[in-house]
Amino acid sequence: MTTLLTAQDISVSLSRTAPPVLAELTLEVAQGETLAVLGASGTGKTTLARTLAGLRHPDTGRVTFRGVDVRHLGARTHRALRCDLQMIFQDPYSSLDPRQTIGQALAEPLLARIQDSASRTLRIESILHALALPADTQARRPHEFSGGQRQRIAIARALVGEPALVIADEAVSALDASVQARVLNILLEQQRRTGLALVFISHDMAVVRHMAHRVIVLDKGHIVEDGPTEKVFTAPQAVATRRLLQAAA
């Protein structure tokens, strides 16, 4: 399998006095794979997600996407590569520009790959429809939507360009059950069709079991568990994993 993303010995400290949030973590994500990241609140899942996406620079170590250091993804020459790595945040406000219409926001990741604006509009209509968003969504701005609708718009923006990798940090947690199922099905469908890889952060064990091929568990800066989903759920090795599973039972 093709490796898309690698993190090699990455460490992140957020304060001088506290122990590091991430301590020399190493991981890989392959094309077509869903890697779930579990861990109690405050164990660094969001910090890891942001570091993998190149939004935060690690104190040590390196993250590469298709062999390119993610800190270089901002360069003009890497525009297509950048579109191929998308992130869905816990807080959808941070990923949507209030001044842009939704149509403009969703066209951005398509500019590099679909030249014709009518074709772009069709693609955007199709993903908005799949996410059960109103037909006039494209002309409106983020503040005109509910929190749940905004989250769906952020998801649409991440998926519209059919990226190679999506890092999803509690992307569906705030959505009601039927919308959540719809989003998960879209992710699975894209994965089957395009080989989408996912880094999937969720505290919902049922969703993780349904979605993930592989699971890692974070505790005190380290990966304390790493294995195939069924194995982790049925025969957890680490104390932290057993705690999480017990809390969810």
Ligand X SMILES: Nc1ncnc2c1ncn2[C@@H]1O[C@H](COP(=O)(O)OP(=O)(O)OP(=O)(O)O)[C@@H](O)[C@H]1O
Q: Are 229 and 26 within 8 A, CB to CB?
A: no
* Burial of 24 from C-beta contacts in 10 A (0-12 / 13-18 / 19+): middle
Q: Decide whether 71 or 203 has the Cβ nearer to ligand X.
A: 203
**45 forms part of the interface with ligand X (CB under 6 A):** yes
Looking at the Cβ atoms of 124 and 167, the one nearer to Mg ion is 167
Q: Which residue stretch of 13-21, 99-107, 117-125, 228-236 sits at the interface with ligand X (rule: CB under 6 A)?
A: 13-21
Q: Find the shortest distance in angstroms from Cβ 98 to ligand X.
A: 23
Q: Judged by CB under 5 A, does residue 47 bind Mg ion?
A: no
163 is an interface residue for ligand X by CB under 6 A: no
Token digits of residue 74: 């901002």
CB of 53 to ligand X, least distance (A): 13
CB of 169 to Mg ion, least distance (A): 6
CB of 167 to ligand X, least distance (A): 12
Strands 3-12 and 60-65: antiparallel
Q: Count of H helices and E strands in the chain?
A: 9, 10
Out of 1, 14, 75, 239, point to the residue binding ligand X (CB under 6 A).
14
CA 104 to chain centre: 21
Q: How many CB atoms neighbour CB 204 within 10 A?
A: 14
Q: Which of 43, 46, 149, 241 binds Mg ion (CB under 5 A)?
A: 46
* Residue nearer to Mg ion on the CB measure, 42 or 228: 42
Cα–Cα nearest to 199, from 72, 47, 80, 92? 47
Asked if residue 48 lies in contact with residue 25, where contact means CB atoms within 8 angstroms, the answer is: yes
Q: Which two tokens stand for residue 224?
A: 């304390």
For 121, phi then psi, to 5°, come to -60, -40
Contact flag: residue 47 with ligand X (CB under 6 A): yes
C-beta closer to ligand X: residue 102 or 172: 172
Binders of ligand X in range 17-36 (CB under 6 A)? 21
In the complex, the residues that contact ligand X under the rule CB under 6 A are 14-15, 21, 39, 41-47
In the complex, the residues that contact Mg ion under the rule CB under 5 A are 45-46
